[in-house]
Structure 1
Amino acid sequence: MTKTILTVDDSPSMRMLLRAALTDLGYDIVEAEDGVHALEKLEGNQPDLLITDINMPRLDGFGLIETVRGKGCTEMPILVLTTESSDEKKQRARAAGATGWIVKPFHPEKLAVAIRRVLH
């Protein structure tokens, strides 16, 4: 069965890069442009993995992760894909419930390895 990944990023070009990389790896992709849009996409749907940016309008990645985890969704892995690389931000993401962290720009093979690590 094909796994579904929800990608959340306010950059259309980043969503396009993710879609290209992830569909090449055989995943189905659902896209959202910010945290609010992602929560709408999650209603009634549970993807196998959530990949989110941190810095976005309306609802940032930290808020999205906290909201998703707060709704009792603890099974789904959440990877953060961002230009941020500070330890403080990584710790904040982990505290919110993130499973892993990938720094942009991403290398498709490293992304594939990170996804395989969290998807069982």
Structure 2
Amino acid sequence: MAQTIMTVDDSPSMRMLLRAALGKMGYTIIEAEDGIDAMEKLSNNRPDLLITDINMPRMDGFGLIESVRQDDSWRNMPILVLTTETSDEKKQRARIAGATGWIVKPFSPDKLAAAIRRVLH
């Protein structure tokens, strides 16, 4: 059975790029447009991995990571941050919140695949 990845990004074009790249890799994809949407979808789904942007309306990536980590049933799910942000301060904040890894946009499918392999296998 294919592993499931939830992608969280407020940009429709970024969700489309992720859907295309992850679909080619054989993953099932669940899409959410921000942290609130992701939390609602997590209540009905069990993804193997969460990939989230940082800068989003309603609930940003930091808030999403913190919310996910507060739920014991999601404690061990890997979370990758996919963002244009590059500052060490934001990377540290994401790690403290509970992120597993960090990928900078624009991403290459090869780098994305390598990051996913590191956290899922």
Separation in 1 of the partners of 2:8 and 2:15?
Answer: 8
Give the C-alpha shift of residue 44 in structure 1.
2.9
Do structure 1's residue 100 and structure 2's residue 101 form an aligned pair? Answer: yes
Alignment of 1:36-115 (within 5 A): 36-72=36-72, 73-115=74-116
Q: Which residue of 1 aligns with 2:15?
A: 15
| Secondary structure class of the residue paired with 2:92 | helix
Q: Residues 77-96 of structure 1: CA distance to partner in whole angstroms, max 9, x if unpaired?
A: 00000000000000000000
Q: How many pairs does the alignment contain? A: 120
| Secondary structure class of the residue paired with 1:62 | helix
Alpha carbon RMSD of aligned pairs, Å? 0.5
What fraction of aligned residue pairs are identical, expressed as a percent? 77
Q: Which residue of 2 aligns with 1:24?
A: 24
Give the C-alpha shift of residue 45 in structure 1.
1.7
Q: Which runs of 4+ in 1 moved over 4 A?
A: none
| Secondary structure class of the residue paired with 1:102 | strand
Separation in 2 of the partners of 1:75 and 1:45?
Answer: 15
| Secondary structure class of the residue paired with 2:99 | coil
Give the C-alpha shift of residue 118 in structure 1.
0.2
If the length of structure 1 is used for normalisation, what is the TM-score? 0.98
If the length of structure 2 is used for normalisation, what is the TM-score? 0.98
